[in-house]
Amino acid sequence: MEWVALGLWLFVVMLALPLGLGAVYGRFSLALQALAAVCGFGLVVLYIVLEGQSWLAWAAVGAGAVGSLVVLVAARNLISGGDAAVRMKSSTEELVATLAGVELPLFVTAGVLTVLVALGIGT
């Protein structure tokens, strides 16, 4: 199960790093989600290398929760009608919002799989 979680975290990182560039457009929460993804991936790698230290898996679950929350906030800010209602949305903002919408369920799934790893289910 830890290998499946590791693969999913890797996929989240591959999606999170390009989204992290959204910080250039003033969306600093996108930079934080990239950091959470890299931390979650690194913690799962350490979990495997250190042969099952459960606190590492629980820390990765926390990184997944933080990443999920931050992606949710970023996507909401990107698609909200606040100050953006008076101007046209750029195609870049729309693309970033779409990718954030794709990444959110991946963060949640990675967190759930990491909970299973931390509990020792399926290993």
- For residue range 12-64, list pLDDT tens digits in order: 999 888 888 767 666 777 888 889 999 999 999 999 999 878 899 999 999 99
Task: Quote the number of domains for the chain.
Answer: 1
pTM for this model (two decimals): 0.83
Domain that holds residue 73: 2-119
**Which pLDDT belongs to residue 66?**
93
**Which pLDDT belongs to residue 41?**
95
The most distant pair of C-alpha atoms in the chain lies apart, rounded to whole Å, by 54
CA 114 to chain centre: 13
pLDDT band at 7 (very low <50, low <70, confident <90, very high): very high
* Model confidence pLDDT, tens digit, residues 65-92: 999 999 888 888 777 755 544 344 567 7
